[in-house]
């Protein structure tokens, strides 16, 4: 997330003296500070679209960008320095009547009354600044507040003082159900807790977010109140999101610029107005912010250099930090770094200082070095290689791997874990099985009458039966077969068992027209040791084919077991053919035909037929 | 004494002539020239012959064998010649069953193998996490916007579906002692669904903890990955950014493959955004039980889907297609 800022090159150069061209400013700063997303050419000017990280609201203004530019541009060989603007001190706190603040969520509230204004006047310079960044110009009063906001990074609002009952209004937390008409034309019903301004006529400002329609400056305005306030950022955030009112003012207020920024913004706005037409009539300041002494951060030179990976000297570090307003005092190789006032919340630990040095120095100048330390000896979980093997086998046999959402509709299982804020009812729980999504995937491919199978390896999520607050995530394999005969589908499972050496695999199940297999990977990972190498017989092994009758309801496994019990020295029993109730098996023995006598072969055959006589019909 | 031998020879040759079947010719060979074949059976009378008769018989026997062998060879050669003439290499084959592994599985495999080459251990940590592992332990206090209901899925029991693989950093630090090189690849969840976002996606998270680590090591590692994954000519760069769990934090860019870094309509001044990275915040090291005065760490976390599609140039239009189960989509990978 970032703060989006638009300023013109002219606005920036009100605060910055440099020989760098706009594209040079953009590319240099992007590497070391705020990110210049785009540079637009305007007639006689340029406009910058900048993204400022949320922890650097001090940069979210022309002045803030100018300070960064003064530090960064010299690293690229450009001349650059700050051009401070002299602002008159208008905030003197000399008004007798002041607003009544009835909430602790407002920590600072300043206002300046300006009389003798004329809402019909439009100033071309202010207008061009705003139109350059795509904002509409209204009149010089409103334009001045907006330019001040973009110049110093703190919102200022102008009220038509004749539309409200003077400056003795109330600042409070709204009650649930109260309404306010705001500047975008909407009438809001408040939830309760939003910070609002109120007089006897009702609410006239959604403080820190958007002004009210009833108090706005118009062509007829003659007297205004300029106001700026520091409000609890959580209230700003929740109120502006709730009412879909994410104005630039709300975004700034949520990120809490410094008190100095608010003071500079309101006084600058007043100065801009007074220079065109107006007269300051007094001000008030409500300040409950406890000032604390500026903090210092102690960082050793060794820590800075070893973190960067390059050896900088103390003078180099000072040269980097001083344009940003940092003060450094060295005690040997250890530095005491004091941040400027508007960076006090952002700079608190040695790593913050290291970041300032590194980014201004330039990350692009740092060498690229792989680690040379000892390689850790911890081992990867064998499950990854096993899953890869399963994927390779199944895709090699024609299966297509699918990936489906972990969230499904509720199955009312006691084991399922519910999502409290799902995107929809059909995704309200974490799945306890892959089977259902596999079947849906098979159905989605029902235009394809060819045999196909799909598989997925993913977690299922199960609440513990003993302790409902515990859960397990079980990596599971699911395979779904469509347009497959059972034996071919079973062959895939048998192939897995053979190649993976799993001790036990689940049986196929039949769901409608599909065959489904599902099992946890950890169960499949219970594998047999590789069997000892068997010397390959040069001669083919002896075999007997036998056809048995299977009764209705009986399982083929019962026939195979009977055969296995009926004879010895068996290498394998394979089902060759099925015709109605007749099942033909090939019994392969573990000796070659040529190594046994005709008598033995005859005896074995005879014994088989005798023991299985009730099946041979 | 030679009549029977001659009859056997004639019989064999007449069976061979005009016969082009390979199996049949082999049967003829066994029948007449095999160990128990006709010719050898005829040879049994040799013990009852006189010395002169043996010489004559032996000569006739060898001639018979040569004649039959010759006829067999010629028949087989003719057959091969015919087969060669009728062989057409342009006949389309019958495809064996051709399946596919999922695009994301391929991506994960490729990404994982690059990092394991430089000593990283692959991990997969829980998708359902406690608040502490997902946020608080990563230096994100309770009022941080990432916890906002709009972005995180909340699960009964006070748990969340982890929105990032960074939760794995804490689990790794708490279960392993430095030095640590971890690549955690797993599913992550964010409450959003549109053309460019899906509610369930994958991230890969690298974490390295050791003594004396520097930003240069992070650059070296990311550069190693970028060159192996995207190609030798690609470059990466770091720009300042902000994450709660790293300090300093970076946005990582890669040079554009379309314009080679010069600048074009597909990139921003020659660069494309890859993802985030940074030096692990000391609060996170502390939460992971690592002595932040002795050790430093760096971490990076990028989207698997996004990174892979940048490399392959696959343009899906709607990213939700990644979760399509249509075989026509799956079989393209």
Chain B nearest CA to A371, separation (Å): 6
**Whether B235 and B289 share a structural domain:** yes
Chain B neighbors of A358, CB-CB under 8 A: 215, 248
d(CA B206, CA B184): 6
Which long-range contacts does A34-41 make (Cβ < 8 Å, 24+ apart)?
Answer: A34/A5, A34/A59, A34/A65, A34/A68, A35/A2, A35/B239, A35/B251, A37/B268
**Whether B156 and B256 share a structural domain:** yes
pLDDT on residue B86: 77
Dig out the tokens for A354 from the structure: 């290291």
Number of folded domains that form chain B? 2
Return per-residue pLDDT of chain B as tens, 333 residues. Answer: 788 899 999 999 999 998 889 899 999 999 999 988 999 998 888 888 899 889 999 999 999 999 999 999 999 998 888 888 878 888 899 888 899 999 999 999 999 999 999 999 999 999 999 999 999 999 998 877 656 655 899 999 899 999 999 999 999 999 999 999 999 999 999 998 888 889 999 999 999 999 999 999 999 999 999 999 999 988 899 999 999 999 999 999 998 887 877 878 778 778 888 999 999 999 999 999 999 999 999 999 999 998 988 887 677 777 888 899 999 999 888
Chain B neighbors of A55, CB-CB under 8 A: 242
**Whether B8 and B136 share a structural domain:** no
pLDDT on residue B147: 63
Q: Is residue B93 part of a domain?
A: no
pLDDT, averaged per 10 consecutive residues of chain A (617 residues), comes to 92 97 95 93 95 94 96 95 92 93 97 96 96 96 98 97 92 96 96 96 96 95 97 94 95 95 97 97 95 89 96 95 94 96 90 96 95 89 96 97 96 90 92 96 88 97 83 96 95 96 95 96 93 81 90 90 87 91 91 83 86 81
Residue A303 contacts residue A310 (beta carbons within 8 Å): no
**Whether B55 and B112 share a structural domain:** no
Q: Is residue B156 part of a domain?
A: yes
- Residue among A283, A427, A402, A210 nearest B323 (CA): A402
- pLDDT one-digit tens code per residue, B61-120: 999 999 999 999 999 998 888 888 878 888 899 888 899 999 999 999 999 999 999 999
Query: Which residue is closest to A303 within chain B, CA to CA?
Result: B212
**Whether B325 and B264 share a structural domain:** yes
- Residue among B241, B236, B240 nearest B255 (CA): B236
Q: Is residue B98 part of a domain?
A: no
Q: Is residue B216 part of a domain?
A: yes
Phi and psi dihedrals of B264, rounded to 5?
Answer: -155, -175
pLDDT on residue A240: 96
**Whether B170 and B53 share a structural domain:** no
**Whether B73 and B141 share a structural domain:** no
Domains in chain A, CATH or no CATH each: 2-82 (3.30.56.10), 100-287 (3.50.40.10), 296-363 (3.30.56.10), 383-524 (3.30.930.10), 541-611 (3.30.70)
* Cβ pairs bridging A and B (under 8 Å): 219
Q: Which domain holds residue B239?
A: 103-330
**Whether B142 and B218 share a structural domain:** yes
- Residue among B65, B246, B218 nearest B138 (CA): B246
Q: Is residue B121 part of a domain?
A: yes
C-alpha dihedral sign at A190, A196, A202, A204:
negative
C-alpha dihedral sign at B228, B230, B233, B239:
negative
Q: Is B136 exposed, middle or buried (0-12, 13-18, 19+ CB in 10 A)?
A: middle
pLDDT on residue B95: 86
C-beta atoms of A404 and B99 within 8 A: no
Chain B neighbors of A459, CB-CB under 8 A: 127, 187
Nearest-CB residue to A307 (from B193, B224, B296): B296
Q: Is residue B18 part of a domain?
A: yes
pLDDT on residue A615: 83
**Whether B298 and B166 share a structural domain:** yes
pLDDT on residue B20: 86
d(CA B123, CA B183): 6
Q: Is residue B269 part of a domain?
A: yes
Decide if the complex's ipTM is over 0.85: yes
Nearest-CB residue to A399 (from B99, B217, B240): B99
Name every residue whose Cβ is closer than 8 Å to that of residue B246 and which is 6 or more positions away in sequence: B276, B277, B278, B279, B280, B281, B284, B298, B299
**Helix, strand or coil for residue A592?**
strand
**Whether B110 and B198 share a structural domain:** yes
Question: Final residue of a domain: which of B53, B84, B115?
Answer: B84
C-beta atoms of B240 and A351 within 8 A: no
C-beta atoms of B251 and A354 within 8 A: no
Question: Final residue of a domain: which of B36, B56, B84?
Answer: B84
Q: Is residue B277 part of a domain?
A: yes
**Whether B178 and B301 share a structural domain:** yes
Chain B neighbors of A32, CB-CB under 8 A: 240
pLDDT on residue B148: 63
**Whether B79 and B140 share a structural domain:** no
- Cα atoms in the Cβ-side hemisphere of radius 13 Å centred on A523: 9
Q: Is A44 exposed, middle or buried (0-12, 13-18, 19+ CB in 10 A)?
A: exposed
d(CA A598, CA A606): 12
């Amino acid at each position: 997330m970032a703060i989006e800022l638009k300023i013109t090159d002219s606005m920036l150069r009100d605060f910055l003296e440099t020989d760098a061209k706009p594209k040079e400013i953009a590319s240099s700063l992007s590497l070391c500070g705020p990110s210049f997303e785009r540079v637009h050419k305007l007639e006689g000017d340029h406009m910058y679209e900048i993204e400022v990280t949320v922890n650097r609201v001090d940069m979210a203004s022309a002045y803030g960008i100018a300070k960064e530019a003064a530090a960064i541009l010299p690293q690229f060989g450009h001349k650059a320095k700050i051009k401070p603007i002299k602002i008159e001190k208008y905030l003197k706190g000399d008004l007798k009547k002041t607003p009544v603040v009835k909430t602790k969520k407002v920590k600072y509230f300043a206002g300046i009354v300006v009389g003798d204004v004329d809402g019909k006047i439009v100033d071309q310079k202010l207008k061009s600044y705003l139109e350059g960044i795509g904002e509409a110009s209204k009149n010089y009063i409103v334009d001045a507040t907006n330019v001040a906001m973009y110049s110093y990074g703190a919102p200022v609002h102008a009220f038509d003082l004749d539309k409200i009952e003077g400056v003795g209004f109330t600042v409070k937390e709204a009650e649930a159900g109260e309404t306010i008409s705001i500047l975008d034309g909407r009438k809001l019903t408040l939830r309760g807790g939003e910070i609002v301004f109120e007089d006897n006529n009702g609410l006239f400002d959604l403080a820190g977010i958007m002004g009210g329609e009833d108090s706005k400056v118009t062509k007829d305005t003659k007297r205004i109140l300029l106001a700026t306030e520091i409000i609890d950022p959580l209230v700003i955030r929740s109120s502006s999101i709730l009412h879909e009112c994410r104005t630039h003012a709300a975004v700034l207020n949520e990120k809490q610029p410094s008190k100095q920024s608010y003071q500079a913004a309101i006084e600058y706005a007043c100065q801009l107005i007074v220079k065109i037409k107006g007269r300051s009539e007094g001000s008030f300041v409500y300040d409950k912010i406890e000032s604390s002494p500026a903090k210092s951060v102690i960082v050793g030179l060794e820590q800075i250099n070893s973190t960067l990976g390059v050896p900088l000297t103390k003078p180099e570090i000072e040269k980097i930090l001083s344009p940003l307003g940092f003060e450094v005092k060295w005690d040997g190789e250890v530095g005491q770094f004091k941040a400027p006032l508007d960076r006090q919340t952002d700079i608190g630990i040695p790593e913050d200082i290291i970041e300032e040095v590194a980014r201004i120095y330039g990350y692009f100048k740092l060498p690229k070095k792989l680690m040379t330390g000892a390689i850790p000896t911890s081992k990867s979980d064998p499950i990854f290689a096993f899953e890869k093997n399963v994927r390779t086998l199944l895709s090699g046999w024609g299966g297509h791997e699918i990936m489906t959402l972990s969230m499904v509709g509720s199955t009312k299982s006691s084991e399922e874990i519910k999502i409290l804020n799902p995107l929809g009812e059909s995704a309200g729980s974490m799945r306890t099985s892959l089977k259902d999504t596999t079947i849906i995937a098979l159905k989605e491919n029902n235009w394809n009458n060819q045999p196909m199978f799909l598989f997925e390896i993913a977690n299922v999520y199960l609440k513990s039966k003993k302790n409902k607050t515990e859960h397990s995530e079980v990596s599971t394999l699911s395979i779904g077969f469509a347009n497959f005969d059972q034996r071919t589908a079973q062959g895939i499972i048998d192939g897995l068992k053979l190649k993976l050496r799993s001790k036990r695999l689940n049986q196929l199940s039949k769901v409608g027209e599909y065959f489904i297999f599902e099992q946890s990977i950890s169960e499949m990972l219970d594998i047999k040791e590789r069997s000892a190498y068997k010397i390959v017989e040069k001669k083919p092994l002896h075999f007997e084919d036998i056809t048995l009758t299977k009764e209705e309801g009986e399982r083929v496994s019962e026939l195979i077991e009977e055969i296995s019990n009926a004879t010895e020295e068996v290498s394998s029993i394979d089902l060759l053919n099925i015709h109605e109730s007749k099942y033909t098996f090939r019994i392969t023995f573990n000796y070659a035909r040529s190594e046994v006598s005709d008598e033995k072969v005859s005896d074995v055959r005879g014994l088989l037929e005798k023991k299985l006589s009730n099946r041979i019909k | 004494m030679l009549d029977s031998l001659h009859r056997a020879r004639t019989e064999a040759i007449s069976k061979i002539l005009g016969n082009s079947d390979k199996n049949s010719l082999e049967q003829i060979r066994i029948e007449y020239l095999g160990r128990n074949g006709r010719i050898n059976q005829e040879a049994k009378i040799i013990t009852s012959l006189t010395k002169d008769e043996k010489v004559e018989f032996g000569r006739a026997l060898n001639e018979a064998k040569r004649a039959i062998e010759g006829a067999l060879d010629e028949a087989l050669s003719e057959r091969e010649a015919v087969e060669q003439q009728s062989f057409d290499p342009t006949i389309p084959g019958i495809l064996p069953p051709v399946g596919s592994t999922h695009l994301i599985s391929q991506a994960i495999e490729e990404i994982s193998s690059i990092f394991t080459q430089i000593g990283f251990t692959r991990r997969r940590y829980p998708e359902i996490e406690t608040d502490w592992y997902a946020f608080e332990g990563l230096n994100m206090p309770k009022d941080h916007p990432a916890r906002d209901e709009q972005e995180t899925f909340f699960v009964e029991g006070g748990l969340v579906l982890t929105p990032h693989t960074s939760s794995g950093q804490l689990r790794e630090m708490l279960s392993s002692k430095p030095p640590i090189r971890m690549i955690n690849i797993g599913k992550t969840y964010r409450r959003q669904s549109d053309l460019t976002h899906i509610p369930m996606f994958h991230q890969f998270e690298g974490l390295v903890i050791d003594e004396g680590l520097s930003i240069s090591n992070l650059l070296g590692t990311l550069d190693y990955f970028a060159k192996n994954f995207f190609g030798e000519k690609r470059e990466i760069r770091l720009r300042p950014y902000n994450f709660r769990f790293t300090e300093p934090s970076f946005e990582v860019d890669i040079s554009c493959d379309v314009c080679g870094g010069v600048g074009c309509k597909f990139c921003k001044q020659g660069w494309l955004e890859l993802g985030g990275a940074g030096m692990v915040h000391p609060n996170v090291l502390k939460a992971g039980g690592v002595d932040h005065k002795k050790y430093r760490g760096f971490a990076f976390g990028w989207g698997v889907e996004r990174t892979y599609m940048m490399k392959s140039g696959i343009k899906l239009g709607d990213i939700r297609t990644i979760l399509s189960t249509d075989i026509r989509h799956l079989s393209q990978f």
